[in-house]
Amino acid sequence: MQSILPLPTQPLKPGTSTGQQFWHTDAAKTIDSYSPADGQLIARVTETTRADYDRVVETAQAAFAEWRQVPAPRRGEIVRQMGEQFRHYKRELGTLVSYEMGKSLQEGLGEVQEIIDICDFAVGQSRQLYGLSMHSERPAHRMMEQWHPLGVVGIISAFNFPVAVWSWNAMLAWVCGDVCIWKPSEKTPLTALACQQIIGDVLRNNNVPEGVSCVITGGRTTGEWLARDPRIALVSATGSTRMGKAIAESVAGRLGKSLLELGGNNAIIVSEHADLDLAIPAIVFGAVGTAGQRCTTTRRIIVQERIYGDVKDRLKRAYAQLRIGNPLDESFHVGPVIDQSAVHSYQVAVQEIGEAGGQFIVEPGVLDGPGFESGCYVKPCIAEAENSWPVVQRETFAPILYLLKYTTLDDAIAQQNAVPQGLSSAIFTLNLREAERFLSVAGSDCGIANINIGTSGAEIGGAFGGEKETGGGRESGSDAWKAYMRRQTNTINYGTTMPLAQGITFEL
């Protein structure tokens, strides 16, 4: 099959924002990006060397000294212009996301829409970086707090949302007055360089200092540079819990700040009071969307025993209609997983389910033959399982759905919570008491809890993130901007005496 992109003759080079300084060391290694859609090599990108990395950080630091002085609404205006660029290139970038990462074109376009939405959000936020004011206990004194930017923010993003999650971080960080160094996943470097190109004109036209937006490329070692580097004020990392623990340890070791958005093991409770016409499509999209590779993917459904048989039959019928194939062809629902190692994890999980005694009600399998030459297409499957099985307890980034049974709602909530992760959760019920109980303090322990919608597809306006092994971070909407700033408390004496707090007297 012919690749949709001509492969450039020279390796692409990451660097800082405006493209004036795309460093390149001849000895640098390259990262090859293959499309899981057709197996084609679509880009060869130079890997950032340690020397280049240090130059990037120095440039970013110098840029910060200038950028923080630019009024926040003016920074917002620049982000607004970036949003316009993403609107303009939505189709092209969405297509590239779909091709490089393998998610369906609709989801690729949706991902670019998330960038546009967070740009809009950040523009408004740029005029709302509010601090509180307090009444001082002393006469003729005033207290207030203000928010200042942190400095250099390192963004480590995952392959599954190769561009949107960067933008949640970067757009907010920029309006807050920070500068960003982005390390995209080594599986999707091309989409990152495309974003850097898309915003390049905006940065140049507005004379934004070199280094406000930087991209570095590499794998784990490059991520560790950011984590260990005291010059990086905040490391925001998205990926596996294993990766997040390593990053958290390094960053905490130097008392830096981290913002973690890690694995999920998201469940939907289906009550006997559910409207199944809503529940079934939500479950199927949640389980097979992005080929099961969202951190918000629905991995478990917990079904009331009286409707268990009905739900099982409906899911089987729905899965029978799924069409798997090239993500750029909109007649298919499910594209490939990212690479052979993801196929391997799927196969390992499938074997473990069998060994644990799980029954597949929709059979797994790896597809081959015409259209599947990349070897990355797997069949979405459903297994009847037990919540306590180790395979059910961990996040396998693949379209495997576990079907669990419950008797009472408390039992369902207990199962939903009895996993190490705490990202997203949902209940389908038309019963008000059940819905409210699920959202109550005795309900879901996740960062996201939904009623009558699925676990994935969160809007950018809410704070996004989760508890327990999901890492505790919150990104995108609500007051997530505070993670990108430092708080300063100010007390001002405008009187003629020098009273001390707590009524202490101290006379000279």
Catalytic residue list? 261, 295
* Binding interface with ligand UN1 (CB under 6 A): 114, 160-161, 165, 238, 294-296, 456-458
Which tokens hold the place of 422? 């705490």
Smallest CA-to-CA distance from 199 within 189, 187, 213 is with: 213
Q: Tell the smallest beta-carbon distance from residue 85 to ligand UN1 (Å).
A: 21
Compute the half-sphere exposure of residue 230: CA atoms within 13 Å on the CB side of its CA: 3
Can you spell out the DSSP letters for 182-202? Answer: EE--TT-HHHHHHHHHHHHHH
Least Å distance, CB 238 to ligand UN1, is 5
Q: Are strands 448-451 and 424-428 parallel, antiparallel or unpaired?
A: parallel
* Least CB distance to ligand UN1 at residue 233 (A): 23
User: Are 292 and 397 in contact, with CB atoms under 8 Å apart?
Assistant: yes
The least distance separating ligand UN1 from the CB of residue 398, rounded to whole angstroms, comes to 14
- Tell me the angle at which helices 189-205 and 72-88 cross, rounded to the nearest 10 degrees: 130
**Of residues 98 and 456, the one with the C-beta less far from ligand UN1:** 456
CB 240 to ligand UN1: min, Å: 11
Kindly list the strands in the beta sheet with 141-149, ordered across the sheet, starting from the edge strand earlier in the chain.
Answer: 133-135, 141-149, 485-493
| Cα-based angle 115, 455, 301 (whole degrees, multiple of 5) | 155
Question: CA 90, 95, 101, 103 torsion: positive or negative?
Answer: positive
Give the nearer residue to ligand UN1 in terms of CB position, either 190 or 262: 262
Return the number of the residue (103 or 437) whose C-beta is nearest ligand UN1: 103
Question: Among residues 277, 281, 271, 296, which one has the least CA distance to residue 436?
Answer: 271
Supply the minimum distance, in Å, between the C-beta of residue 239 and ligand UN1: 9
Q: Beta-carbon neighbour count of residue 498 at 10 Å? A: 8
Q: Which residue is nearest to ligand UN1 (CB)?
A: 458
Closest distance of CB 182 from ligand UN1, Å = 15
Angle at 350 between CA 38 and CA 282, to 5 degrees: 75
**Residue 196 CB-half CA count within 13 A:** 29
> Please, which residue, 236 or 304, has the CB nearer to ligand UN1?
236
Which H or E run includes 173?
helix 164-176
- Strand-pairing partners, residue 383, are 360, 402
Please state the closest distance from residue 460 (CB atom) to ligand UN1, in A. Answer: 7
Q: Give burial (CB, 10 Å; 0-12/13-18/19+) of 346.
A: buried
CB closer to ligand UN1, 63 vs 295: 295
Instruction: Write down the least CB distance from residue 96 to ligand UN1, Å.
Output: 18
Element containing residue 99 per DSSP (H, E) = helix 90-101
Residue 114 vs 210, nearer CB to ligand UN1: 114
Three-state SS for 217-271 is: CCCHHHHHHHHHCCCEEEEEEECCHHHHHHHHHHHHHCCCEEEEECCCCEEEEEC
Question: Is the Cβ–Cβ distance between 434 and 409 less than 8 Å?
Answer: yes
Pick from 114, 76, 77: nearest CA to 195: 114
Type and span of the H or E element at 155 = strand 152-156
Instruction: Select 49 or 258, whichever has its Cβ closest to ligand UN1.
Output: 258
Whose tokens are 């399982």? That residue is 385
CB atoms < 10 A from the CB of 496, how many? 7
Structure tokens at 169: 């971080």
Task: Quote the least distance from Cβ 466 to ligand UN1, whole Å.
Answer: 10
* Residue 99 or 161 having the CB closest to ligand UN1: 161
